[in-house]
Amino acid sequence: LDPKDCTACDSTSQMITKARKDGVILHFDRAADMKACPIGADSACCKNCFMGPCRLNPRDPYKKAGVCGATIDTIMARNFARAVAAGAASHTDHGMAMLELFRDVVNGKVLDYEIKDEFKLERVAKSLDIETEGRTPKEIATDLYKQLESTYTQVDGEIPFTKRVPQGTLDTWRKLGIVPRGAMREIMEMMHRTHMGVDQHYKNITKQASRTALSDGWGGSMVSTEISDILFGTPSPINVGVNMGVLKEDMVNIIIHGHEPNLFESMLVSVNEKTLVESAVAAGAKGINLVGMCCSGAEMMSRHGVPHAGNFSSTEAIMVTGAVDAMAVDIQCIKQGLAAVAQCYDTPLITTNTRAHIEGATHVEFEEHNPSACTDEIVIKAITRFKNRRHEIEIPKAVNDGVQGFSHEYIEYMLGGAFRGGYAPLNENIINGRIRGVAGVVGCTNPRVKQDDSHVKLVKELIKNDVLVLLTGCAQIALAKAGFSVPEAAHYAGPGLQEVCETVGMPPVLGLGSCVDNSRILIAASAMVAQGGLGNSIADLPVAGAAPEYMSEKAIAIGQYFVASGVYTVFGVTFPTIEDTKFHNYLFDGLESEGIGKWDHAIDPIEMAHKMIAHIDKKRKELGI
Ligand code: BF8
């Protein structure tokens, strides 16, 4: 396979070529070697009990049923719902860890972190009707963590952030019976219902999948974003370098890859620790160079301007540079293949989280009450590796500078100015047609398709048609590497969007952070509804979502919470249903007639863009704009 067909990222392509020379296997090679199972790809198999596993024929899906009698619709719905549950569990477990850290900080049990953003603390507290007037941050924070704990544990009723849901959307959820309770309850019920012999109606399974997904989007993920902002600071635009060229040959290079920002925050302290810097210099280095990858990288890039080396499909490839002196990981999207590649280049691969060990990696547990014990050790291991470097070093040169860090709060400020505030100017520009609509382009890269290629082509087509694009996760990194995160990229935009970008001085694509920060898109959408003029619910807005290169169950959970929130959502690569089955048609059509959003699928990014634009135009027409 030609490296140029594997990726649109020149740095990654260069490293694939070097890996072949070095005899190192990467995920691109494994993908080529592992043909996707066609029955599994269509979700036509079931292994939820031990009378099977049962395989149905995707070409004739109603011919047979499973041993228990499960139809193709039940099987596909259960598989889909379990993906939603796993994805929601990942985000909410991450959010719960952030909330526990917040609680321990507030109660003085953890001393290495503090509340950095008191303004945001007050703002979030007020959004939940917590009294703030005349109270200390500690008093407000205590009420806040107690209330937010119910996001996870609440057995009945509606979770706290449903207060942020536009009334029209909330009314629809209540009518459909999908207002989420605590995530633990929803995920537990989802796993129960998909056990053999429980819920065997695809519509009822989908209903619980929506409720579970909403407990993530408006629950676990939103808590994670808001608490991380309160503890570590709310992002505002910052110029950052992205791409493999952020590695430095003459420095000790440390990569942090994963999802929870606390490890990374403490790493930032350790790499500036005087004695550690001195020992790096004593080892012959110019200093210590800390860079991020994947989602915690995206958060640190947005909050503190820490350089970002690449997205999911580049995490093995970057070690082929020979210049990575340590890679420390925490949770999620960490390929087990990293261990073998790390071994080839004598790079210490360090797992740090109790929930995620990897055979062949070194485990150094990260504990929040004593973070430097772990993070200092990572630095020491990296310095040792630097001293003993014995591999040829080849670092791709590319570094793409651009503006990152567009929180929902900053978008409000940027578009409205300090005095006017609010989303009025965005809504006005949508109503007057300068901006046709807003698209969220999110999600992973996937070695089954050319890395970054669909992200870039899709976004280019959207902005050319005056659609403002919000980005998160690996999609954001793809566009940064392609040079779209600068105000000058406005020339790619259609005349209306270009005018808005030039007036405000912003790029035509706004990067909002990590995957849990998709919650910022939900908040922005709610603010657009609240501003007026664009309908009463999120389903009325001229907006659309896409994940053109997704690979994870988390992406399915995100897609389902966008759909359940009212957003038309298109996924690329492959879709785990069989066309023209009842379940497929329900996701792709039926849900919309119930008043929420709907799913769609397109492999070609230009086709995907035009499906999204057609939906935006349909909504504009319905709004009479
Ligand atoms: O949560 S976009 S590959 S890194 S799953 Fe993973 Fe996908 Fe990247 Fe972050 Ni999100």
- pLDDT digit string, tens, across residues 18-42: 999 999 999 999 999 999 999 999 9
- Residue 49 marked in a binding site: yes
Residue nearest to atom 9 of ligand 1 (CA): 295
Tell which residue, 61, 44, 60, has the closest CA to residue 52: 44
Whether 525 and 377 share a structural domain = no
The band of 65, judged by pLDDT with boundaries at 50, 70 and 90, is: very high
Does residue 547 form part of some domain? Answer: yes
312 CA → ligand 1 middle, Å: 7
Which ranges in 328-439 belong to alpha helices (H)?
337-344, 371-387, 408-420, 424-431
555 CA → ligand 1 middle, Å: 8
Identify whether the C-beta of residue 208 lies closer than 8 Å to the C-beta of residue 191. no
Residue nearest to atom 7 of ligand 1 (CA): 444
**Token digits for 240?**
């950052």
Higher pLDDT, 422 or 625: 625
**pLDDT score, position 139:** 97
**The domain spanning residue 308 has which CATH number?**
3.40.50.2030
The kind and range of the H/E element at 469 are strand 467-471
Whether 153 and 282 share a structural domain = no
**What is the number of alpha carbons within 13 Å of residue 535 lying toward its C-beta?**
21
Whether 120 and 51 share a structural domain = no
Between CA 390 and CA 394 the distance in angstroms is: 13
**pLDDT score, position 423:** 85
Residue 312 Cβ contacting ligand 1 at under 6 Å: yes
- Crossing angle between the packed helical segments 294-304 and 221-232, to the nearest 10 degrees: 40
- According to DSSP, the residues that pair with 327 across neighbouring strands are 255, 349
Whether 51 and 184 share a structural domain = no
516 CA → ligand 1 middle, Å: 9
Does residue 237 form part of some domain? Answer: no
**Domain end point (choices 200, 232, 264):** 232
Beta-sheet strand order (sheet of 467-471): 509-511, 467-471, 437-441, 543-547, 568-571, 599-601
Does residue 381 form part of some domain? Answer: yes
Whether 222 and 144 share a structural domain = yes
pLDDT tens per residue, range 541-568: 999 999 999 999 999 999 999 999 999 9
Model-level pTM? Answer: 0.96
The band of 411, judged by pLDDT with boundaries at 50, 70 and 90, is: confident
**Token digits for 516?**
């849990």
- Residue 6 marked in a binding site: no
Between CA 11 and CA 399 the distance in angstroms is: 10
Does residue 603 form part of some domain? Answer: yes
- According to DSSP, the residues that pair with 402 across neighbouring strands are 240
pLDDT tens per residue, range 290-334: 999 999 999 999 999 999 999 999 999 999 999 999 999 999 999
Between CA 301 and CA 404 the distance in angstroms is: 7
554 CA → ligand 1 middle, Å: 8
Identify whether the C-beta of residue 548 lies closer than 8 Å to the C-beta of residue 458. yes
- CB atoms inside a 10 Å sphere around CB 457: 19
* CA distances for 270 relative to 302, 371, 377, 399, 536, angstroms: 20, 9, 9, 25, 49
Residue nearest to atom 1 of ligand 1 (CA): 515
Identify whether the C-beta of residue 577 lies closer than 8 Å to the C-beta of residue 205. no
**Domain end point (choices 232, 253, 286):** 232
The kind and range of the H/E element at 130 are none
Does residue 239 form part of some domain? Answer: no
Pairing of strands 467-471, 437-441: parallel
Tell which residue, 279, 256, 251, 280, has the closest CA to residue 266: 256
Residue 293 Cβ contacting ligand 1 at under 6 Å: no
The kind and range of the H/E element at 571 are strand 568-571
Identify whether the C-beta of residue 257 lies closer than 8 Å to the C-beta of residue 129. no
pLDDT tens per residue, range 165-184: 999 999 999 999 999 999 99
- Tell whether the model's pLDDT for residue 418 goes beyond 60: no
Instruction: Report the residue among 27, 335, 515 best suited for mutation to probe ligand 1: largest number of ligand atoms under 8 A from its CB.
Output: 515
- Residue 390: exposure state from Cβ atoms within 10 A (0-12, 13-18, ≥19): exposed
Between CA 50 and CA 510 the distance in angstroms is: 48
**The domain spanning residue 84 has which CATH number?**
1.20.1270.30
Identify whether the C-beta of residue 461 lies closer than 8 Å to the C-beta of residue 606. yes
- Residue 515 marked in a binding site: yes
Residue 444 Cβ contacting ligand 1 at under 6 Å: yes
Does residue 509 form part of some domain? Answer: yes
Whether 80 and 14 share a structural domain = no
As a whole number, mean pLDDT of residues 205-230 equals: 97
**pLDDT score, position 420:** 61
Structural domain including 282 reads: 244-387
Q: Which atom of ligand 1 is nearest to the CA of 558?
A: 10
Torsion 13-18-20-24 (CA) sign: negative
295 CA → ligand 1 middle, Å: 6
State residue 155 phi and psi, 5-degree precision.
-85, -15
Does residue 528 form part of some domain? Answer: yes
**pLDDT score, position 419:** 53
- Residue 333 marked in a binding site: yes
- Tell whether the model's pLDDT for residue 455 goes beyond 70: yes
73 CA → ligand 1 middle, Å: 28
Tell which residue, 425, 410, 459, has the closest CA to residue 439: 459
**Domain end point (choices 198, 232, 266):** 232
120 CA → ligand 1 middle, Å: 26
Whether 205 and 325 share a structural domain = no
**pLDDT score, position 422:** 78
Tell which residue, 393, 222, 308, has the closest CA to residue 9: 308
Rounded to the nearest integer, the mean pLDDT of the chain is 96
Between CA 181 and CA 167 the distance in angstroms is: 18
Query: What's the ipTM?
Result: 0.97
Does residue 537 form part of some domain? Answer: yes
Whether 368 and 413 share a structural domain = no
Between CA 348 and CA 385 the distance in angstroms is: 8
Between CA 394 and CA 233 the distance in angstroms is: 35
- Residue 519: exposure state from Cβ atoms within 10 A (0-12, 13-18, ≥19): buried
Residue nearest to atom 3 of ligand 1 (CA): 444
Whether 7 and 138 share a structural domain = no
Whether 377 and 449 share a structural domain = no
Residue 554 Cβ contacting ligand 1 at under 6 Å: yes
Residue 43 Cβ contacting ligand 1 at under 6 Å: no
Strand segments (E) across 131-249: 238-242
Percent residues over pLDDT 90 in the chain: 96
- Residue 295 marked in a binding site: yes
Counted domains in the chain: 4
Identify whether the C-beta of residue 164 lies closer than 8 Å to the C-beta of residue 218. yes
Return all residues near 293 (Cβ < 8 A) that are at least 6 apart. Answer: 255, 256, 257, 308, 309, 310, 311, 314, 315, 318
- Residue 584 marked in a binding site: no
**What is the number of alpha carbons within 13 Å of residue 471 lying toward its C-beta?**
32
Residue type, 524: A
Whether 434 and 470 share a structural domain = yes
518 CA → ligand 1 middle, Å: 11
pLDDT tens per residue, range 513-522: 999 999 999 9
- According to DSSP, the residues that pair with 546 across neighbouring strands are 441, 570
274 CA → ligand 1 middle, Å: 34
Whether 248 and 224 share a structural domain = no
- Residue 9 marked in a binding site: no
Residue 334 Cβ contacting ligand 1 at under 6 Å: no
Residue 518 Cβ contacting ligand 1 at under 6 Å: no
